Structure 1
Amino acid sequence: MHSIDEVIIGRQGSAGLIRLNRPQALNSLTLPMIRAIEAALADFAADPSVASVIVRGEGDRAFCAGGDIRLLHESGKRGSPDAETFWREEFRLNHAIARYPKPYVALMDGITMGGGVGLSSHGSHRVATERTRLAMPETGIGYFPDVGATWLLPRAPGEAGTWMGLTGLAIHAADAIQARLADHCVASSDLSALIEAIGALPAAASPADVHGVIAGMAISAGESRLTVHRNMIDRALAYDTVEDIQEALAREAGDFAAETRQIIGTRSPTSLKLTLRLLRAGRNSASLAECLDRELGACLRILYNPDFYEGVRAAVIDKDRNPKWSPASLAEVEDAAIDRFFVPAQPPLFAM
């Protein structure tokens, strides 16, 4: 097995276990963690005594809060290849999860953001809990939703994915299920019992068998805010420019529309325009691989974008939560500036 201190690999009966073990850092991903997860998945796939794989986060706060933003920030500042290496290996792992040959069960208990969504929502069996806080918060740090989110979010019903991608706001279990980023809600206190029950299945257990165990322990996720406000979301966020979306939100009545408009107004204007372009491109894409390849090209350009460094400074380093975006307004972001993010990475991630 490929256990390291930050990823603990084990077994529970017929289930392979992968435990993210950086609770003090909300289980955020490092490159060694990505490599350990990838190796464990390969081992479990080849082991006929393993029927399924379960991934969970240690500690009581997070499944996984995302990638190691400090590493990416420092790599970009130094001009080192570390950021590109991280993204390439993380995105390949996301693709491997989506194509995994055995049931892949992600226990999305607590904070599940950015790279944590990539580790969970591409899986075959996604379990939220009453403590799930799922988000793609990247527009708030001068970045954009990656890890295949430009494939996942456009496939949420209506414009729910557009709302998530632009606002970066966290959603709960009911919304995650509504957005097709999770499948069931299981009580956090029942997760250990769920692991035991899945592990008790025979080695020849099918995906349907695993689904049956999870469904048998599922509870109501409650009311989805995205469902309650779906008509408004679908009306106002259907436009293909952020300016038109903001104008449409201004025409809508109610606190939800006003909050949405206000939050979008605090995000990086460059990130907003880039995110919307990527989401619309993802909607018309034929595969996850195509979206990941496009995202990688944008990642390599983000290292030359001042908003990324300013956003990470304000959120992670100085923590003053007061980024100064450049350009500061949507009107100042030229189309040509966004076009530059759509230069394909070389070499590509996948042979198309």
Structure 2
Amino acid sequence: MGAVRFLHTSDWHVGRTFHGADLLAEQDAVLAHLAELVSAEAVDVVLVSGDIYDRAVPSAEAVQIANKAMLRLRQAGARLVLTSGNHDSAPRLGAFGDFAAAGGLHLRTTIDRIDDPVLFEDEHGAVAVYGIPYLEPEPARHALGVPDAKGHNGVLREAMRRIRADLSRREGARSVVLAHAFVTGGQGTDSERTIAVGGVEQVGAEVFDGVDYVALGHLHGPQTLAEHLRYSGSPVAYSFSEAQQRKSVWLVDVDGNGLAGVRRHELPVPRTLAKLRGYLEELIEAPEHEDLVESYLSVTLTDSVRPVDAMRKLRQRFPYAVHLDWQPENGNTTANLRYAEAVSGRSDTEIARNFLDDCRGAPPSESEQKLLRRALETAGRGES
């Protein structure tokens, strides 16, 4: 029995950095793997459910990487359907959309095309693919003609009402919907930008009833909310909260009866993420950490005194250490005092000494105290 095979991915965020580190090479490598997968699995259509870019105005380098990824996917034999996410500029992403469709790239970035599906044919008839771009509730409720709609739930209900109405006129058509939203039951990470409006950002799963498959975007962890309702997650990790996730995409088969099956395909990891905790010198010297030399690292130092120039020293062994925290084992971190209490009745010299003590967990040395006194005297705050 024939079927249309879809590859569901989302949240590429091309151009995003990771604690200041450029990720373009990692993003390029993973997106190139998607093209290899399309060829190996005979994928007919690639679905990208929003946040192609990380910024509304992406860099020239980010645009180049995204364009190359789309070209590879097309050359591998798949057509593409893309929607805009909350990070994208819908007008920019959708520019030249009609022209791109002639080459197999279908862009759905405007409200007026929500119920205008991209149609794919197989031996059973049509599979209608509807793309819902990210809907900002306030402007969307007026554009959709439902001024009383409340939040994301309200505008997406209207979007799905229009889709179901169009689908009801297409006898025997099977259906796929792309949507960029936070659906109730999904688990977020530290790397998604909030889309809360008035404190409510979640949408009920029942909003998407009545279609064969819903390809969700926005949340960066792969997850299944129902057999037909899934997040693919981002292809690359964008926060240390994603360190234990296995990034993946979904291979979705739609046959004559609707959804026939979904398989998960795990993606390669260009550079792993890890966390380390301990004394600076021990971390630098311990042989058991050798396998983390090429990983992006978040390091928590537990030295009783804040080490000087710690990041530079760490990077001599771990060049991809990108985040550093200090939590001394003795608990001697910055005093939890209000400013007025911290300075009341103290001289400028005492305040400066206490500041150093609070910041690094040890009082200044005699030579450092001399430097402080000299600096205060130069500033006209010396105590003679």
- With normalisation by structure 2, the TM-score equals 0.25
Which structure: greater strand fraction?
Answer: 2
* Largest Rg, 1 or 2: 2
TM-score (norm 1): 0.27
Does 1 or 2 have the higher relative contact order (CA < 8 Å, sep 6+)? Answer: 1
Give the number of the structure whose residues are more often helix, by fraction: 1
